[in-house]
Amino acid sequence: MNAPEGLTPPVGETADCQVPSRAEAEAAVRTLLRWAGDDPDREGLLDTPARVVKAYEEFYAGYRQDPKVLLQCTFEETDGYDELIVLRDIRFESHCEHHMVPIIGVAHVGYLPQNRVIGISKLARVIEAFAKRLQIQEKLTAQIANTIDEVLKPRGVAVIVEARHQCMTTRGVHKPDATLVTSRMLGELRENASTRREFMAILGNPSSRLG
């Protein structure tokens, strides 16, 4: 597969798809502009196809990132630290795979280390790599937790994601205050109720953080 100029090929589940050229992508935007009822040749829209394609490179950058690679660099010098590590309020922007409109939310990640820990920025980057794809929130939550569990091999993992979906806040049922909350617990954080309660206590009241 040849990637368009300026792009690296997608990784993971999309690696086998044929990536259109930039010119083809811009032509598709022009078609949508005409379909919406406007003239892509008028002054205000002349550069819109190029701008949209450039924005899509940012919105969907996760297709060209391998989240597992982001977790490869770990640290073993922890002086025996084996308690919960929690990174909360990690803001992300994603896009609904059904309507291609924004999903905006926060993720909270916790894990019980086993001999090694990961740099906290890498946790945020894993969330970003999965969020910058077309998503449903349930799948996003599972992907984050499963990847941390597979690569880091901790004693337990917890991920909670809360987000607002513009597919139901700006269209359809028009419920602007609705928030979807999803979670995935693995290992001791699934099996041990007291450890799970400790994680939830550290988070406090997550649902108040979306504003």
* Residue of 65, 137, 143, 166 marked active site: 137
| 3 state DSSP class of 46 | coil
Query: How far is it, in rounded angstroms, from Cα 102 to Cα 97?
Result: 10
* Residue of 143, 165, 166, 188 marked active site: 165
Closest listed residue to residue 85, CA positions, set 131, 115, 118: 118
108 is catalytic: no
Instruction: Work out the end-to-end distance of the chain between its first and last CA atoms, rounded to an integer number of angstroms.
Output: 43
167 is catalytic: yes
Which long-range CB contacts under 8 A does 149-154 form with residues at least 24 apart?
Answer: 149/186, 149/187, 150/68, 151/68, 151/71, 151/72, 152/71, 152/74, 152/111, 152/113, 152/116, 152/118, 153/114, 154/111, 154/112, 154/113, 154/114, 154/187
Closest listed residue to residue 196, CA positions, set 163, 142, 160, 148: 160
Query: How far is it, in rounded angstroms, from Cα 152 to Cα 155?
Result: 9
165 is catalytic: yes
* Residue of 13, 97, 150, 191 marked active site: 97
* Residue of 98, 138, 150, 191 marked active site: 98
* Residue of 65, 96, 128, 143 marked active site: 96
137 is catalytic: yes
135 is catalytic: no
Catalytic residues: 96-99, 137, 165, 167
